[in-house]
Amino acid sequence: MRVHVVLRYVGFSFLLNAGFLFLASLVALLHADPSFLPLIYSSLVSLLFGLFPLLFVPPTHDISNTEGLAILVFSWLACCLVGTLPYVLWGAEFTLTNAWFESVSGYTTTGSSILRNVEALPAGLLFWRSLTHWIGGMGILVFVLAILPLFAGAETTLYRAEISSLTRENFRYRTRKAIQILLVVYAGLTVTETLLLSLCGMSFFDAVTNAFATVATGGFSTRNQSIAHYQSVPMEIVIVVFMVLSGIHFGLLFSAVRGRTREVLNSSVVRYYGTALILGTLAIAWNVYGTVYESGWEAVRYALFQVVSVGTSTGFATADTTIWPPLAQWILILFTLQCACAGSTSGGIKVDRIVVFGKALARTVRKTLHPAALIPLKMDRKPMAPDLVEASLLYVLSYLSVVVCSTILLTAQGVDLLSAFTGSAACMGNVGPGFGTVGSLGNFADLPVASKWVLSITMLLGRLEIYGFLALLMPGVLRGKP
């Protein structure tokens, strides 16, 4: 592996962040708040780190798959480090550990926070905090590929490194066209939601930052009580609709906008996704009606918002779910593990893999009854490649293994089992809130320092879907001898 090539492309990520940090500093300047200097200093540092490799490393036409993976992983780490700078320079609650945790949580669109008083932050830092969601939601390398004209060979390799094989299943376009589609849908959803929230009476600043968090399925809010602060049914409806849309494969959304709605309606993954959200909402509404809420309307209202928020890995809240009955909590935990569709900004195992798991299980049962039968595994009447099926099933096992390991490490540091398990599941799924001390209206501030570092790694593993991160740890890979 050529280290200088990796450094050159990681430099693009620094430049990207320098531009976004500069934008956040302009917001701070507009609001005349004291976060301007931390943001502009961070922008200059990021700019310098981005320029050095571009000045001293010549451009390269082609990069290997190993180099592509290294660029992906180190670009994410670089962004998280850059995102830490404005928090550290600001100070207050932001120790180095807390700043790193908040930065990783932002870029990975997890939404877990160490802040006890979000509203104490100035506008510039609040905007930057939400902006990290928007950058990470689409994927750092997708932004780089969209903005910078790269060589075709390098572009294709980086696209494959950033976008999982499950995501590419519903794209029938070349790399450049697929990237354009992703960004058009992403930006279109963000602008539309911003306008609708503004029409519902939300301030323009809050509308923008909440739209960033919704479409990125991130969950950072500018208010201590998250969306519960607004106590507005129209706002909740808008956010629910856009959380659901942001959980669907963007390629299918693009097809729907172009009039090919059948592709969305005929997708077994989308049908399962919608059905799961509806059944989860009804089950929780039934469970909380009469125990937490006296009104059936309130039970449905709060159940729907929380199910969609957790089921899309967004993590917004309009209710304190830590006081809900155990059945309702367990349903939310299941949605925390599953989340939404591949090709969206959602985290979690993804409903695609759940559908594949269900089909594989059904095929195994049928093979037990008819051992000699040849039963291909199909998705929407199309046969699935055996390698993709195997990778999906192994991913589910690997995913749950990481959650278990993280839980064990947290409990070893004195964290109670409920907080450790649900916090680990929420960070692995990039969902945000768990239960116990890390509940929907709580935060991660009181966790031990070591636990925050464990959960930071868990968040990155969840966002990078495990394989790419672990591949670089194999002996010899970084030396070019896989």
- pLDDT band at 391, cuts 50/70/90? confident
Q: Average pLDDT in the 280-292 region? A: 95
pLDDT above 90: percentage of residues in the chain: 57
Among 296-300, 367-371, 454-458, 460-464, which is the least confidently predicted range?
Answer: 367-371
Rounded Cα distance between 450 and 189, Å, is 37
pLDDT of 473 strictly over 80:
no
- pLDDT band at 8, cuts 50/70/90? confident
Rounded Cα distance between 425 and 406, Å, is 9
pLDDT of 144 strictly over 70:
no
Give the pLDDT confidence score for residue 233 in this predicted structure. 96
Closest CA to 226 of 238, 247, 209: 209
Rounded Cα distance between 390 and 394, Å, is 6
Bridge partners for 293 per DSSP:
289
| 389 vs 287, more confident | 287
Among 174-188, 306-320, 375-389, the range of highest mean pLDDT? 306-320
Rounded Cα distance between 332 and 420, Å, is 16
Q: pLDDT, tens digit, for every residue of 343-359?
A: 888 889 999 889 888 88
pLDDT of 164 strictly over 80:
no
Q: pLDDT, tens digit, for every residue of 225-247?
A: 999 999 999 999 999 999 999 99
Rounded Cα distance between 328 and 290, Å, is 13
**First and final CA of the chain: distance in angstroms?**
10
Give the pLDDT confidence score for residue 431 in this predicted structure. 93
| 348 vs 164, more confident | 348
Give the pLDDT confidence score for residue 367 in this predicted structure. 81
Give the pLDDT confidence score for residue 152 in this predicted structure. 47
Residue 244 burial class via C-beta count within 10 angstroms: exposed 0-12, middle 13-18, buried 19 and up: middle
Rounded Cα distance between 205 and 111, Å, is 18
pLDDT of 150 strictly over 60:
no
Rounded Cα distance between 386 and 468, Å, is 20
In this structure, which amino acid lies at residue 219? G
Among 332-341, 447-456, 469-478, which is the least confidently predicted range?
Answer: 469-478
- pLDDT band at 149, cuts 50/70/90? low
DSSP character at residue 148: S
Helix, strand, coil shares of the chain, percent, nearest 5, are 70, 0, 30
Among 15-29, 268-282, 419-433, 456-470, which is the least confidently predicted range?
Answer: 456-470
Rounded Cα distance between 308 and 318, Å, is 11
C-alpha 337: how far from chain center: 13
Answer yes or no: are the C-beta atoms of 69 and 468 closer than 8 Å.
Answer: yes
Q: What is the DSSP string of 361-407?
A: HHHHHHHHH-TT-----EETTEEPPHHHHHHHHHHHHHHHHHHHHHH
Q: pLDDT, tens digit, for every residue of 176-218?
A: 677 777 788 889 999 999 999 999 999 999 999 999 999 999 9
pLDDT of 4 strictly over 90:
no
Tokens encoding 150: 């790269």
Give the pLDDT confidence score for residue 249 in this predicted structure. 85
Give the pLDDT confidence score for residue 82 in this predicted structure. 94
Give the pLDDT confidence score for residue 482 in this predicted structure. 47
Answer yes or no: are the C-beta atoms of 395 and 467 closer than 8 Å.
Answer: yes
Angle (CA) 166-169-174 rounded to 5° is 120
pLDDT of 472 strictly over 90:
no
State the average pLDDT for the chain.
Answer: 87
pLDDT of 84 strictly over 80:
yes
pLDDT of 402 strictly over 60:
yes
Tokens encoding 296: 């059936």
pLDDT of 128 strictly over 80:
yes
Q: Average pLDDT in the 133-148 region? A: 73
- pLDDT band at 432, cuts 50/70/90? confident
| 144 vs 122, more confident | 122
Answer yes or no: are the C-beta atoms of 150 and 161 closer than 8 Å.
Answer: no
Give the pLDDT confidence score for residue 344 in this predicted structure. 84
Rounded Cα distance between 270 and 275, Å, is 8
Among 59-68, 139-148, 249-258, which is the least confidently predicted range?
Answer: 139-148
- Domains of the chain, by residue range, sit at 1-162, 173-396
pLDDT of 89 strictly over 90:
yes
| 401 vs 472, more confident | 401
Rounded Cα distance between 312 and 382, Å, is 26
What beta strand segments (E) does 207-327 contain?
none
